[in-house]
């Protein structure tokens, strides 16, 4: 698909993505018009807020079933739509006692709702809309019959989850063992996080902006070519399953492989 303009929807609770820098990155890389918009979730109609609440996942091992939200859940959704900062605590996987306590959304269901919101005002099919959110977006994997956190949901609109960048690719195995030991001894897990800070992303990490660039490349390549990802670790289109690989492809390598660079040049 051809792109005439890209719209970037900010996540104001995560300043570290540095949306203005992302715009400049896109202008330099793709030579298309780019416009920054505010959060898509601010000032939403209450009917959309209710729909979003209805795509929460409560049982990670069961495929999506529409959820009928109760009043408390709708009120929660209204408050996090108004102030997305309130979202963060409820998406941190390691702080949750039970995985059911983590607020997760079905990525494709959420994408459908955002599609409705955007197409109400914009029917130009060559405009690509990319929405940043700190919501934890998940998709159900048929091979292992469970939901997994995702960094990017491709197509138009595309969704990029900052929480997904932090929670979806796995941390080093040694970290999980040490963190478990610390938790059992009642010690502060932040000390362990500090020890491993080079090895994985954390909330409010300054590296998030660079990682976001890679996510944008994936979303845009998918829109242009139908293919978002690259098998090579030496390419920013690599779909990392480990934090180590994510940091390697996006920060240490920080560019496309020869094949994808040639595709972009054409
Ligand atoms: Zn590549």
DSSP-H helix ranges across the chain: 19-30, 46-53, 71-82, 107-119, 162-167, 173-184, 189-195, 208-225, 243-247, 258-265
Question: Ligand 1 centroid vs 148 CA: distance in angstroms?
Answer: 24
Question: Ligand 1 centroid vs 230 CA: distance in angstroms?
Answer: 4
Beginning with the edge strand found earlier in the chain, give each strand of the sheet holding 136-141 in spatial order.
56-57, 104-106, 136-141, 146-150
**Bond preceding residue 176 cis, omega within 30 of 0:** no
Question: Ligand 1 centroid vs 118 CA: distance in angstroms?
Answer: 30
Predicted confidence at residue 169, as pLDDT, reads: 96
For the chain, percent of residues with pLDDT exceeding 70: 100
Question: Ligand 1 centroid vs 256 CA: distance in angstroms?
Answer: 5
- pLDDT per residue over 100-123, tens digit each? 789 999 999 999 999 999 999 888
Distances 45 to 50, 51, 78, 176, 200 between C-alpha atoms, Å:
9, 10, 10, 41, 37
SS3 label, residue 127 = strand
Alpha-carbon span 228 to 247, nearest angstrom? 18
Question: Ligand 1 centroid vs 257 CA: distance in angstroms?
Answer: 4
Terminus-to-terminus CA distance in the chain, angstroms?
A: 14
Stretches in the chain below the pLDDT threshold 70: none
Predicted confidence at residue 121, as pLDDT, reads: 85
Question: Ligand 1 centroid vs 236 CA: distance in angstroms?
Answer: 7
Question: Ligand 1 centroid vs 179 CA: distance in angstroms?
Answer: 34
Give the distance, in angstroms, between the CA of residue 46 and the centroid of all CA atoms in the same chain: 24
Question: Ligand 1 centroid vs 154 CA: distance in angstroms?
Answer: 17
Alpha-carbon span 109 to 95, nearest angstrom? 26
- pLDDT per residue over 57-76, tens digit each? 999 999 999 999 999 999 99
Distances 121 to 62, 84, 118 between C-alpha atoms, Å:
35, 23, 6
Question: Ligand 1 centroid vs 263 CA: distance in angstroms?
Answer: 9
Predicted confidence at residue 183, as pLDDT, reads: 85
Alpha-carbon span 20 to 22, nearest angstrom? 5
Predicted confidence at residue 208, as pLDDT, reads: 98
Predicted confidence at residue 207, as pLDDT, reads: 97
Q: Write out the H or E segment, with its range, that includes residue 105.
A: strand 104-106
């Amino acid at each position: 698909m051809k792109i005439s303009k890209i719209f970037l929807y900010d996540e104001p609770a995560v300043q570290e993505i540095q949306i203005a820098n992302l715009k400049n990155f896109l202008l330099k890389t793709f030579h298309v018009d780019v416009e920054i918009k505010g959060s898509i979730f601010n000032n939403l109609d209450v009917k959309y807020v209710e729909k979003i609440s209805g795509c929460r996942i409560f049982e990670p091992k069961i495929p999506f079933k529409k959820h009928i939200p109760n009043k408390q859940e709708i009120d929660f959704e209204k408050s996090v739509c108004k102030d997305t900062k309130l979202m963060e605590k409820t998406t941190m996987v390691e702080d949750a006692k039970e995985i059911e306590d983590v607020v997760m959304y079905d990525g494709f269901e959420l994408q459908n709702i955002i599609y409705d919101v955007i197409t109400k005002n914009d029917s130009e099919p060559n405009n690509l809309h990319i929405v940043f959110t700190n919501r934890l977006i998940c998709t159900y994997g048929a091979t292992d019959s469970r939901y997994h956190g995702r960094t990017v949901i491709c197509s138009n609109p595309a969704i990029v989850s900052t929480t997904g960048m932090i929670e979806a690719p796995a941390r080093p195995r040694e970290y999980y063992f040490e963190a478990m030991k610390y938790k059992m001894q009642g010690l502060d897990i932040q000390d362990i996080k500090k020890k491993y800070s080079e090895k994985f992303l954390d909330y409010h990490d300054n590296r998030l902006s660079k990682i976001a660039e890679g996510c944008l490349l994936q979303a845009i390549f998918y829109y242009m070519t139908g293919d978002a990802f690259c098998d090579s670790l030496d390419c920013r289109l690599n779909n990392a399953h480990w934090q180590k690989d994510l940091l390697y492809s996006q920060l240490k390598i920080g560019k496309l492989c020869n094949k994808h660079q040639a595709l972009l040049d054409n």
